[in-house]
Chain A
Amino acid sequence: MAQEAKNQDLPPLVTRKAVKTKKELDLLLGDKGARYYKEMEVFPVDTAALKKTLDATCKSRLRTWLEICAHCSLCADSCFFYLANDNDPKQIPSYKIKSTLGELVKRKGNVDTKFMINCMDTAWGKCTCCNRCGMYCPHGIDMGVMFGYLRGLCFSQGFVPHEMKIGSCMHWLYNAQMDVTVEDYVETCEWMAEENEEYYPGLEIPVDKVGADIMYVVNAREPKHYPQDLAEAAILFHLAGESWTVPSKGWEGTSLAMFAGDWACCKQQVEGVYAAMERLKVKRYVGTECGHQHRATITEGPYWAGRKSGEPPAPGLHYVEWVLEALETGKLKLDPAKKIKEPVTLQDPCNYVRNHGLTDVTRKIMSYIAEDFREMSPNREHNFCCGGGGGMNGIGRYREERNIGLKVKREQILATGAKFVVSACHNCWDAIRDLEEVYKIGIKWSFLKPILLEMVIVPDHLKPKEE
């Protein structure tokens, strides 16, 4: 009782507005979700605002999809959650969207708290917005797109998973998914360059170099948790002789705001990156080995920023595109004797494969690095989500659901016979790491950078001078 009374005096954690101050952020971080979700259970729905948003943004495309769905269930086995949950009909994409967004639209936003919590639990806990179902619907109904939209509605009403609320707040405050400031980032760059300069003379991480060919953008986890990734990127650019730079402001390419459905924040986030492209007058953008970084900044970002062309200010490449180009032009030379001998398989990330067509690029890279490359089945655009996309990896409330979902990827990997998974995406990498932790199938996994670094031939003039 005493605890409850105390809680009542605290400022609320559940709010309809995005959280944009350090004070509120600390409050959210101070709670592990218990008070947050308890508050949510009695948090009222602003039905008038919901109706207004629906009227303004739920247009013919979404309404038509909801209306013409033939209820044929052909989307069922396109969804890895359906398969992983022993063909549970409640996991059919059509059912999931019909019982949430479909009802919401039908009732013109006149729904209650319990209904909204179910929407949240479905939009984040039963869908990773991998968009696979849309490829299998005869009408071309993309339920992943609809769940993305539903996430936006949920966010605007305050019904958003704890970690996603925090994620969007981080972007508002730091223009990054984690509390890494511009100063922290620049310092990390300097540190990594110094750390490795001994082995790679002349190595630098040029910050804010105007007119560079490449602007390299990362995922905040790299400076925060494994700065070595940043060093690896720098070494590979250095060995390839690229003219490159990292921006100080606008250094982060990811967007948890996209997973959270905080569209205003998505706009702010991506505009920071575009401003850096323009400020530094770079020829191209290269984003790190992260799927949603590419989706947020290159594929969807231009629309949030109001760019009618649908293109960012400078052409945007995913890291794998740069790697292939460097290999094909001979900028990076690999030692064929060091090719991976054991069987290797490849995880196709939804965000730049199904949703940006980079199917052949990674396969060509595999031909440079692996002697026994084995495809998962299905693969390319038809590959299954790793199981942790769309923010799923980071949400404690759905950990159990996530772990069940991982079974599909587990079976796919086991069927290849390979014990080594290459994954050029942070989310996939995490999901596969967790898969091993949960199911212990004896696999290892890696980004491309460490593999390339093992194999790359250092040109003589870049080798350290012998004493």
Chain B
Amino acid sequence: MYEFVSGPLALISFAIFFVGIIIRIVWYVKGLDWQLDRVAYSEKLGAGIKGAARSLFHWLLPLNRTTANHPVFMAVTYLFHICLVLTPIFLMAHVVLIEESWNISWVTLPDKVADYMTLAVIAAGIFFLIRRLTDPNVKILTTASDYIVLAIALAPFITGYIAYHQWELGAGYKFWLIIHILCGEIMLIAIPFTKLSHFVLSFCSRIQLGMDYGIKRGGTKGRGIAW
């Protein structure tokens, strides 16, 4: 079982993930239409790139009004996303696995740090969950898929934490390790097909709106939009 989930299934998951997100990006870009969107994307590419860069810069960093207006929520969100992306990529155990298979490796996080980052992801996830259950503004927007997507994103971290600390929890290390790998694979496969596609589409959207502002909505007049 372990051989299967960590071997062919992992390969299949990565393939679906990479091909999937590439298709999503290609579909997004192909679907842009200068006349329907009313943005001269290619005619004013320079202004567009400037606008896109501004849009990404102000939102990849917490330099926007939303962060100023909602500092706690945005701090948790930034932390959640940073830890969620960096931890699996730079986790020692993951890098070692990849080195064994393909003979390539890169820098790793100290286990202690990765451990805290995992806890940060889980804690932030619980924060999001509580907010969804209690805040009337969020409640009215929430659908079942929001919970499913949150569960898909948190599962690899919760199971990874259990496996790393070798908690038995009535099933044993091997069991939790396999479940952890499966959860990671589910997440990879889910990204192109669910709201998790915001992994790439959020960038597409930010770039698009940045281009819209850069090209049409005053980017060429005045100082450009102040996010």
Contacts and interface: CB of A to CB of B under 8 A. Distances in A.
A141 to B, nearest CB: 7
A61 B37 contact: yes
A309 B40 contact: yes
Contacts of B136: 89
Given A64-B28, A357-B218, A358-B221, A71 B205 contact: no
Nearest to B137: A73
A76 B212 CA distance: 22
Contacts of B225: 135, 357, 381
A135 B218 CA distance: 14
A90 B43 CA distance: 40
Contacts of A202: none
Contact of B205 (A139, A308, A310, A361): A139
Interface in A352-374: 354-361
Contact of B31 (A63, A95, A304): A63
B34 A308 contact: yes
B34 A299 contact: no
B201 A138 contact: no
A398 interface: no
A391 B227 CA distance: 26
Interface residues of B, number: 61
A355 to B, nearest CB: 5
A134 B209 contact: yes
Contacts of A70: 146, 195, 198
B19 to A, nearest CB: 18
B208 interface: yes
Contacts of A208: none
B132 to A, nearest CB: 8
Interface stretch (B6-14, B64-72, B96-104, B107-115): B64-72
Interface in B167-218: 195, 197-198, 201-202, 204-206, 208-210, 212, 215-218
Nearest to A141: B205
B140 A355 contact: no
Interface string B33-55: 11111111001100000000001
B32 A60 contact: yes
Contacts of B32: 59-61
Nearest to A136: B66
Given A68-B195, A89-B139, A138-B59, A299 B216 contact: yes
B125 interface: no
Contacts of B55: 140
B65 A136 contact: yes
Contacts of A304: 38
Interface in A133-190: 134-142
Interface in B71-93: 73-74, 77
Contact of A92 (B69, B137, B204, B221): B137
A327 to B, nearest CB: 17
Given A64-B201, A139-B198, A357-B225, A90 B215 contact: no
Nearest to A311: B40
A346 to B, nearest CB: 16
Given A89-B136, A356-B221, A140 B206 contact: yes
Given A89-B139, A309-B40, A74 B66 contact: yes
Contacts of B137: 73, 76, 87, 89, 92
Tell me whether chain B's interface is mostly helix, strand or loop, or mixed.
helix
Nearest to B212: A142
Given A63-B31, A381-B226, A354 B217 contact: yes
Contact of A67 (B59, B139, B201): B201
A59 B201 contact: no
A57 interface: yes
Contact of B30 (A60, A89, A98, A141): A60
A306 interface: yes
Interface in A32-72: 57, 59-61, 63-65, 67-72
Contacts of B140: 89-90, 92, 95
A136 to B, nearest CB: 5
A420 interface: no
Query: Quick one: which of A98, A142, A300 has the most chain B CB within 10 A?
Result: A142
A370 to B, nearest CB: 21
A322 interface: no
B36 A57 contact: yes
Contacts of B165: none
Query: Quick one: which of B197, B198, B209 has the most chain A CB within 10 A?
Result: B209
A380 interface: yes
Contacts of A16: none
Contacts of A137: 66
B129 interface: no
Nearest to A306: B35
B27 interface: yes
Query: Quick one: which of B69, B70, B217 has the most chain A CB within 10 A?
Result: B217
Nearest to B202: A139
Contacts of B59: 138, 140
B15 interface: no
A303 B208 CA distance: 17
A140 B223 contact: no
Contact of B141 (A98, A135, A360): A98
Given A61-B32, A354-B217, 9 more contacts: A61-B31, A68-B198, A74-B70, A90-B140, A134-B209, A135-B225, A140-B209, A141-B209, A310-B43
19 contacts: A61-B32, A61-B205, A67-B195, A67-B201, A68-B197, A68-B202, A71-B142, A71-B143, A89-B136, A89-B137, A98-B141, A139-B202, A139-B206, A303-B40, A310-B40, A310-B215, A357-B224, A360-B222, A382-B226
Interface of A: 57, 59-61, 63-65, 67-74, 76-77, 87, 89-90, 92, 94-95, 98, 134-142, 299-300, 302-304, 306, 308-310, 354-361, 380-382
Interface of B: 27-40, 43-44, 55, 59, 64-66, 69-70, 73-74, 77, 135-143, 146, 195, 197-198, 201-202, 204-206, 208-210, 212, 215-227
